[in-house]
Amino acid sequence: MTPRIVAATALRVLEQLRRDPRTLAMIIVVPCVLIFLLKYVLEGQEGSFDRVGGPLVGLFPLIVMFLVTSITMLRERTTGTLERLMTLPLAKLDLLLGYGIAFALVAAVQATIVSAVAFGLLGVEAAGSTIAVVLLAIANAILGMALGLLASAFAQTEFQAVQFMPAFILPQLLLCGLFVPREQMAPALEALSYALPMSYAFDALQRVTADGSLGGRGWLDVAATIGATLLALVLAAATLRRRTP
């Protein structure tokens, strides 16, 4: 690994995002609007918004970064820049870390603004610290990025990459406990939820927003989230080939 190249890659990815202000605006504005909508949709249902609002602040970065990364990386594959990078003195880890740092920074901004809107403006209640929510959101963004890097290897076109969002992410969102607590699901679904990384991300967020602190189990959830991120990164690195057919 070469820190100079990691930093250069992170800068380059940020430069690309800066050239696309519409995407940047969507990254920030869309989650705020969705939280706002959710508040009024759930208005009649006592406590519902408080239960899902807080964790959702921390899950948005995962979803958004998955999408943005899978498309950025797919472009890298289809435009030949990845092939060029693979002929240069750049380690695969340099590329992955560069992406990680860039998207973690974007996620930090996104999570800070979305939490300010949710906790400040819309009055979402969090028993624990909102800073912990933002930190978890950043961790989740990196998980989303890692999953996106991996998913990009299985898409040939941007159209397919977009389809991975409902295929990879929606089932996780349905099963993570956001809509229905996991222990109330059919046993098979509950068992399946334990295999999905977003379940752990959600659990940790819920512990902070509902219980007030991570506690011992919460730290295990964080560890599982980080473990899933590392696993996805290792698998993603394996899909970056220097030689292709």
Partner 1 sequence: MCSDAAISVRDLNVRRGEKLVLPGISLEIERGAVTGLLGPSGTGKTTLIRAIVGVQIVESGAVTILGEPAGSAGLRARVAYVTQAPSVYRDLTVRENLRYFARILDVPGERIAEVIETVSLGEDADREVDNLSGGQGARVSLATALLGRPEVLVLDEPTVGLDPVLRADLWRTFAGLAAEGATLLISSHVMDEAVHCDRLLLMREGDILAASSPDELLRRTGTRDMGEAFLKLIEEGRSSEAPGA
The answer to the question of residue 21 lying near partner 1 (CB under 8 A) is: no
State the CB neighbour count (10 A cutoff) for residue 179: 10
Closest C-alpha to 233, from 153, 139, 152, 149: 149
The answer to the question of residue 83 lying near partner 1 (CB under 8 A) is: yes
Give whichever of 85 and 150 is closer to partner 1, judged by the CB atom. Answer: 85
The answer to the question of residue 90 lying near partner 1 (CB under 8 A) is: yes
As to burial, measured by CB atoms within 10 angstroms (0-12 exposed, 13-18 middle, 19+ buried), residue 124 is buried
User: Quick check: 10 and 102 in contact, CB under 8 A?
Assistant: yes
CA–CA distance, 40 with 164 (Å, rounded to integer): 29
* Residue 50 neighbours by CB under 8 Å, 6+ apart: 124, 125
Site track 102-121 with partner 1 (rule: CB under 8 A), x = hit:
--------------------
Give whichever of 20 and 125 is closer to partner 1, judged by the CB atom. Answer: 20
CB of 186 to partner 1, least distance (A): 45
The answer to the question of residue 34 lying near partner 1 (CB under 8 A) is: no
User: What residues between 52 and 81 interact with partner 1 by CB under 8 A?
Assistant: 79-81
Positions touching partner 1 (CB under 8 A) are 4-5, 7-9, 11-12, 15-16, 19-20, 79-81, 83-90, 242-245
